[in-house]
Amino acid sequence: MSTGKVVKSGMWIYVGGLATNIVGYAYWLIASQFVGPEVVGSASAIIALQGLLVVAVSLGLPTGLRRFIGEHHSKQDFDRVGSYFFANLIIMSMLSLVCIVPLIIAYQINQGILGISSIDLGFVAFLVLLNSLTPIFVSLFDSMLRTKITASAQVISALVKITLGYLLLLMNFGFLAIMVAFLLSTLIADFILIGATYLFFRNKSLKINIDQKVVRDLVTSGLPAWLPNMLTIAGQSFAVLIVYNIVGDTETGLYYIAYAIAAVVYAAPTSILGLMYPVLSGMEDGRKESITKMTRIAVALTAPFAVAVVVFSNIPFMILGPLYMDAAPLLSWLAIGAIAYPIYAGYYSYAYAIKQNRHVLTLGISINGSRLVLYVLLASIFGAMGVAMGYTLGIVVGLFAMVISSSLLDYRPPWLTYGKTVIIPCLFGIVLYYFQIHWLLAVPIIVLLSTIIYTRSNIISREDAIEIINAFMSPISITRFYVVLRPVSVILFGK
């Protein structure tokens, strides 16, 4: 396994996710000038329900597909890559059509679902139809570490959404502007991915064989991930829907925007460690060492930024305006979980890659099942804040489940190293918050000092840095920038 290649591929996923979230933040920033939080709340409820339905009908097939794409692509067996991909595409097309039929019926008989009106269910149906096939194309390219393609689709889609949404809001379409922008931007992303898939398979003389074994492999590989994935999306979707039904659409809008900002922090470890599943599936040995290294790097990349968001959660909402300032504590609670989340995410990819399906199921239930229970219990007491608390407390439960699971699988995570990696930026954050240091100065201090301590204490080794640099820069470029890189290397690692 090339650490640099995985990090570079993960970087592209992160770029795509970052663009989506930053543009999404800008989108809501613009929308807030035309509509109030209650409109954002209604739109977020529709998006949450469609996300729940897309995962519900998927049966985990896009996730299961990653195992076989990663395995057969590593052997350059494109016939099998094509067989598994097209089988997945056909099955998912049929399942998505089955899903939207009840939505159309509910729309026709004027019957709402989960507090969402029958008219809004029409938007849900369109979004389900457009989004149900997207994960299959994403799984194809991500499993081959061709993440630049999926990132490009995300970036272009995000730009279309904000441009179109702004123009429609200027024309006073309000809620309709928000939903149409979501629909058309999703359609653009699908067209890009379909085109890239055509170009990938075009010059390959494929002998596609979609037999019972292919279907059985996809289903048996996907189902263990389906329930955890279902619970993950259910946790995210029900978080929005519970706030929408218990508290109201205004707090739903506040929670949704806070979650969209927190997703930027969670995207870093998810981008890197999510790729480890297909990579580990294609490896013969060295899986424990590889996942431990990548988890260590992911924690080091995430923790300083997560701490900065926790401490200065009010900054993004100062831009949105006073109506949105109540979302700052929600963002703090959500970002707290991101500090340690990579530890869980790395181990989850490892357990899935070594086909420990019962452990995968248990881990998924522990984190997401506990969230669902906590949402209901805490939302009635603390409102949207209770949902944010439940989201992070679910990660704590997941870490406890990881301790038990790893001992049963004879895998010993470097808990001391993980602990130091998390504690270092937390200490800086506490001190800087206590002395009320301005965020423009405090955030670089947290990130830079944490990085120096990481490298000096070998949490990030010189070898890790060399691999990552080699993945991003050619030998000629490294030689050209040697004068700049050497002083930085001395500061970080010593002579």
The 10s digit of each residue's pLDDT in 44-60 is 777 777 777 887 777 77
Beta carbons within 10 angstroms of residue 36's beta carbon: 13
Residue 106 has pLDDT above 80, yes or no: no
Residue 257 C-alpha from the chain's centroid: 15
More confident residue, 116 or 131: 131
Give this prediction's pTM. Answer: 0.68
402, two tokens: 């990881």
Check residue 290 and give left, alpha or beta (phi > 0: left; psi -120 to 50: alpha): alpha
* Per-residue confidence band for 280, with pLDDT thresholds at 50, 70 and 90: low
* Per-residue confidence band for 116, with pLDDT thresholds at 50, 70 and 90: low
Helix ranges restricted to H, 383-461? 384-408, 415-434, 439-456
Give the residue extent of every domain in the chain: 3-460
**What is the tens place of the pLDDT at every residue in 290-329?**
888 888 888 998 899 999 999 999 888 887 677 778 888 9
Residue 89 has pLDDT above 70, yes or no: yes
pLDDT at 6: 61
Q: Mean pLDDT throughout 176-180?
A: 81
Q: Mean pLDDT throughout 330-359?
A: 87
pLDDT at 94: 85
Decide if 152 contacts 191 (C-beta within 8 A): no
**What is the tens place of the pLDDT at every residue in 356-376?**
878 888 888 888 888 878 887
Q: Which of 179-193, 230-244, 280-294 has the highest mean pLDDT?
A: 179-193
* Per-residue confidence band for 190, with pLDDT thresholds at 50, 70 and 90: confident
113 bridge partner residues: 116
pLDDT at 393: 93
116 bridge partner residues: 113
Question: Mapping DSSP to helix (H, G, I), strand (E, B) and coil, where does residue 116 land?
Answer: strand
* Per-residue confidence band for 25, with pLDDT thresholds at 50, 70 and 90: low
pLDDT at 32: 67
Residue 245 has pLDDT above 70, yes or no: no
Q: Mean pLDDT throughout 201-206?
A: 75
Average pLDDT for the chain: 79
Decide if 13 contacts 151 (C-beta within 8 A): yes
pLDDT at 267: 75
pLDDT at 265: 83
Decide if 168 contacts 27 (C-beta within 8 A): no
Q: Mean pLDDT throughout 450-457?
A: 91
Task: Look up residue 6 and give its amino acid.
Answer: V
Low-confidence winner among 218-227, 239-248, 410-419 (lowest mean pLDDT): 239-248
Decide if 229 contacts 43 (C-beta within 8 A): no
Q: How far apart are CA 10 and CA 4, in angstroms?
A: 10
* Per-residue confidence band for 119, with pLDDT thresholds at 50, 70 and 90: low
Decide if 272 contacts 7 (C-beta within 8 A): yes
Task: Look up residue 353 and give its amino acid.
Answer: A
pLDDT at 203: 76
pLDDT at 153: 86
Q: Mean pLDDT throughout 71-83?
A: 78
pLDDT at 453: 92
**What is the tens place of the pLDDT at every residue in 252-275?**
667 777 887 888 788 777 666 655
**What is the tens place of the pLDDT at every residue in 462-487?**
887 777 676 666 667 767 777 777 78
